[in-house]
Structure 1
Amino acid sequence: MYLSYYGLHEPPFSITPDPRFVHLSERHRDALAHLLFGIDKGGGGGFVQLTGEVGTGKTTLSRLLLEQLPEDARIALVLNPRQNAVELLETIGEELHIDIEGRRGSSKSLVDALNAHLLDAYAKGLRVVLLIDEAQNLPADALEQVRLLTNLETDTQKLLQILLLGQPELREMVARPELRQLAQRITARYHLTPLDAKETGEYLRHRWRVAGGQKFPFEAKAVQRMHQRSGGVPRLLNVIAERALLAGYARDAAAIDARLVEAAADEVLPPAAARRWWPWLAAAAGIAAIALAAMQWRAAPPAPSLPVASATAAAQPSSAKPASARIETLDAGALTQLLGATGDTPLPAWQALLALWKLPADSITVDPAGPCTAAAQTDVHCVQGRASLTTLLALDRPQLLRLQDGGASAWALLLGADPRKVRLRIGTRTFDLDRMLLQSRWNGDYAGLWRGPAALSAPLRLDQSGPAVDWLRRQLSPTGNAAPGTPYDAALRAQVTNLQAARGLPADGIAGPLTLMALADEPPGPRLLRVLD
Structure 2
Amino acid sequence: MTALYTPYFGLREDPFGMAPDPHFLFLSPLHQEGLAHLLYGVTQPGGFIELSGPVGTGKTTLVRRLLEQPPADFEIALIINPKQTPKAFIRNLLQEIQPQTSPASHRADLPTLINLINDRLLEIYRQGRRVILVVDEAQALPVETLEQIRLLTNLETRTTKLMQIILVGQPELDSLLDRPDLLPLRNRITARFRLGPLRAAETQAYIHHRLKVAGLATPLFTTPAMRSIHRSSHGLPRTINILCDRALLGAYVQRRRLVTLPLARQAAHEVAGASRPASRLRRAFHRANFFMFFWILGGCGICLHLGNPVSRVYPPSGYAQPGLGLSHDSPNPAQAGS
TM-score bin (small chain): 0.7 to 0.9
Name whichever of 57-66 and 101-110 sits farther off. Answer: 101-110
Q: CA deviation at 1:252?
A: 2.4
Tell me which of the two structures has the higher relative contact order, counting C-alpha pairs closer than 8 angstroms and 6 or more residues apart.
Answer: 2
Partner deviation per Cα, 1:346-379 (whole Å, 9 max, x = no partner):
xxxxxxxxxxxxxxxxxxxxxxxxxxxxxxxxxx
Q: CA deviation at 1:123?
A: 2.7
Structure 2 CA distance, aligned partners of 1:28 and 1:270?
A: 31
Structure 1 residues not aligned, in runs of 5+: 272-277, 286-533
Name whichever of 199-208 and 102-111 sits farther off. Answer: 102-111
Q: CA deviation at 1:198?
A: 1.1
Structure 2 CA distance, aligned partners of 1:97 and 1:87?
A: 15
Question: Aligned letter for 2:92?
Answer: T
Q: Which secondary structure state, in structure 2, belongs to the residue aligned with residue 50 of structure 1? A: strand
Q: CA deviation at 1:281?
A: 4.2
Distance change >3 Å, CA 143–CA 20, structure 1 → 2: same
Question: Aligned letter for 1:244?
Answer: A
Partner of 2:119: 116
TM-score by length of structure 2 reads: 0.77
Are 1:62 and 2:63 matched, yes or no? yes
Q: CA deviation at 1:253?
A: 2.2
Q: Which secondary structure state, in structure 2, belongs to the residue aligned with residue 70 of structure 1? A: coil
Q: CA deviation at 1:100?
A: 5.0
For residues 516-531 of structure 1, what are the structure 2 equivalents within 5 Å?
Answer: none
Structure 2 CA distance, aligned partners of 1:280 and 1:249?
A: 27
Partner of 1:174: 177
Structure 1 CA distance, aligned partners of 2:268 and 2:104?
A: 54
Q: Which secondary structure state, in structure 2, belongs to the residue aligned with residue 13 of structure 1? A: coil
Partner of 2:167: 164
Q: 1:229 aligns with which of 232, 245, 251?
A: 232
Q: 1:101 aligns with which of 100, 103, 108?
A: 103
Partner of 1:430: none
Q: CA deviation at 1:65?
A: 0.8
Are 1:17 and 2:20 matched, yes or no? yes
Structure 2 CA distance, aligned partners of 1:279 and 1:155?
A: 62
Distance change >3 Å, CA 228–CA 142, structure 1 → 2: same
Q: Which secondary structure state, in structure 1, belongs to the residue aligned with residue 50 of structure 2? A: strand
Q: CA deviation at 1:270?
A: 6.2
Partner of 1:262: 265
Q: CA deviation at 1:181?
A: 1.0
Distance change >3 Å, CA 117–CA 139, structure 1 → 2: same
Q: Which secondary structure state, in structure 1, belongs to the residue aligned with residue 105 of structure 2? A: coil
Distance change >3 Å, CA 280–CA 111, structure 1 → 2: farther
The answer as to whether partners of 1:7 and 1:214 remain within 8 angstroms in 2 is no
Partner of 1:82: 83
| RMSD, matched Cα | 2.2
The answer as to whether partners of 2:39 and 2:71 remain within 8 angstroms in 1 is no
The answer as to whether partners of 1:93 and 1:100 remain within 8 angstroms in 2 is no
Structure 2 CA distance, aligned partners of 1:190 and 1:133?
A: 15
Partner deviation per Cα, 1:404-430 (whole Å, 9 max, x = no partner):
xxxxxxxxxxxxxxxxxxxxxxxxxxx
Distance change >3 Å, CA 129–CA 214, structure 1 → 2: closer
The answer as to whether partners of 1:90 and 1:100 remain within 8 angstroms in 2 is no
| Bigger share in helix | 2
Distance change >3 Å, CA 240–CA 111, structure 1 → 2: same
Partner deviation per Cα, 1:41-95 (whole Å, 9 max, x = no partner):
22x2110000011111111112111111134111211011111100111101000
Name whichever of 155-164 and 3-12 sits farther off. Answer: 3-12
Q: CA deviation at 1:241?
A: 0.5
The answer as to whether partners of 1:100 and 1:110 remain within 8 angstroms in 2 is no
Q: Which secondary structure state, in structure 2, belongs to the residue aligned with residue 102 of structure 1? A: helix
Question: Aligned letter for 1:57?
Answer: G
Q: CA deviation at 1:215?
A: 2.4
Structure 2 residues not aligned, in runs of 5+: 283-338
Q: Which secondary structure state, in structure 2, belongs to the residue aligned with residue 164 of structure 1? A: strand
TM-score by length of structure 1 reads: 0.49
Question: Aligned letter for 2:153?
Answer: T
Moved runs in structure 1, 4+ residues, more than 6 A? none
Larger Rg: 2
Question: Aligned letter for 1:81?
Answer: P
Q: CA deviation at 1:279?
A: 11
For residues 370-409 of structure 1, what are the structure 2 equivalents within 5 Å?
Answer: none
Structure 2 CA distance, aligned partners of 1:159 and 1:37?
A: 17
Partner of 2:211: 208
Distance change >3 Å, CA 199–CA 106, structure 1 → 2: same
Distance change >3 Å, CA 53–CA 280, structure 1 → 2: farther
Question: Aligned letter for 2:73?
Answer: D
The answer as to whether partners of 2:22 and 2:62 remain within 8 angstroms in 1 is no
Structure 1 CA distance, aligned partners of 2:276 and 2:137?
A: 22
Distance change >3 Å, CA 279–CA 218, structure 1 → 2: closer
Identity among equivalent pairs (%): 45
